Amino acid sequence: MAPLAERLRPKTLDEYIGQKHLVGEGAVLRRMIDSGHINSFILWGPPGVGKTTLAQIIANKLDTPFYTLSAVTSGVKDVRDVIDKAKNNRFFSQTSPILFIDEIHRFSKSQQDSLLGAVERGIVTLIGATTENPSFEVIRPLLSRCQLYILKSLEKDDLMELLNRAVTTDEELRKLDIRLTETEALMRYSGGDARKLLNILQLVVESESSNTIEITNDLVVSRLQQNPMAYDKQGEMHYDIISAFIKSIRGSDPDAALYWMARMIEGGEDPEFIARRMVISASEDIGLANPNALLLANAAFDTVMKIGWPEARIALAEACVYLATSPKSNSAYCGINDALALVKETGNLPVPLHLRNAPTKLMAELGYSDGYKYPHDYPDHFTPQQYMPDQLRDHRIWHAQHQPIEERQYQQMIRTWGERFKD
């Protein structure tokens, strides 16, 4: 028999729970689906919030061929085979076949490149699903051809609606007398993940011998302790624990950081995932206060790749403690975010003439590179000149945070630029 989550998978938008900002009355995806014509898009959100279900509902609603690929098991050949099938089916349908790619963030660049032409020419309508930020994981040309829709973790009301639907409509559960006396533990362990909620409910129900089952917090907790579901590296707890881990490093608590790392290790987390997150933390939270942190985090990542479990835990622990006990600064992180926001606000401002390259005679005659001062020709390898666009001549982006190491960099800016860098 199919799992409970599969038996309750919605077939229509009216049965679909949650994501009202996308599929509620008048919402963007609802309007697109009702129009009978959809464009390629990517669904980004945590596990168990309805990404795959939504894609299947769309395919059923539009009555169009629907192909599914998993980025975990599919290669470039699989992508090309599906595209060939889609070309053939296009003759029998006015609507482009839908190609749904689960975990599209796991596709390599070559796999994603193989999709571009088919998406551009409308051979397939791509629906991608990802739990990772597509800005980092999906190639820019493909991302630019897709709308991005963000799905949210299900709210408590959504989960309660799903629970009540399960116990009142599922053919197997309706045979039992299930009473939802307490649901706090179900809500807590599911963490906004519908599939996880139904899996927990099924586990609890199947562990009882009586036809009358009273769901209480104690019952849920006891059954989960007997079955190692408290950490699911594909589920919401995965995100909660990595969040606690990073925040413990940011908060300079090595005990907590080691504890959350141990939780991940015991839960079977991918060591590369832990190492990758520490590299990000070294840049984002420690930054210029201790530049060696990034070197050590990268060294730990390299060690993990070379030796694997269980020895890799030692290198990860060394990096974890070093990051947690390091001074903190996010000035570089804030600086690049402010710079990106400034670029979006001001657009493509021209590069000042004296900063432009002049590889040809014509460019030189037009004044390219004219007036540029080569800093190494001056005392202390510095001379003041304008480097920002004219409209942003006096605009400040980087602001030091005055940790001991960063303070030396700040004082160097004061010595060279004077008042411009004083905060």
Q: For position 228, what pLDDT does the model report?
A: 42
Q: How do the pLDDT tens digits run along the chain, 423 residues long?
A: 688 988 999 988 888 998 999 988 888 888 888 887 888 999 998 888 889 899 888 888 887 888 888 777 777 788 888 888 887 766 555 678 888 988 888 888 888 888 888 888 888 889 999 888 787 778 888 888 888 999 988 888 999 999 999 999 998 898 889 999 999 888 888 878 888 899 899 989 988 888 899 999 888 888 876 444 444 545 445 667 888 899 989 988 888 899 889 988 877 788 888 999 999 999 999 988 899 999 999 999 999 988 888 888 999 999 999 999 998 988 888 888 888 888 888 888 888 888 888 777 777 777 888 888 888 888 888 888 888 888 888 888 888 888 888 888 888 888 888 888 777
pLDDT score of 154 = 87
For residue 316, the model assigns a pLDDT of 94
CB neighbours (10 Å) of residue 237? Answer: 21
What pLDDT sits at residue 104? 87
User: Which of 252, 296, 295, 287 lies closest to 401, judged by CA?
Assistant: 287
pLDDT of residue 71: 75
CB of 122 closer than 8 Å to CB of 112:
no
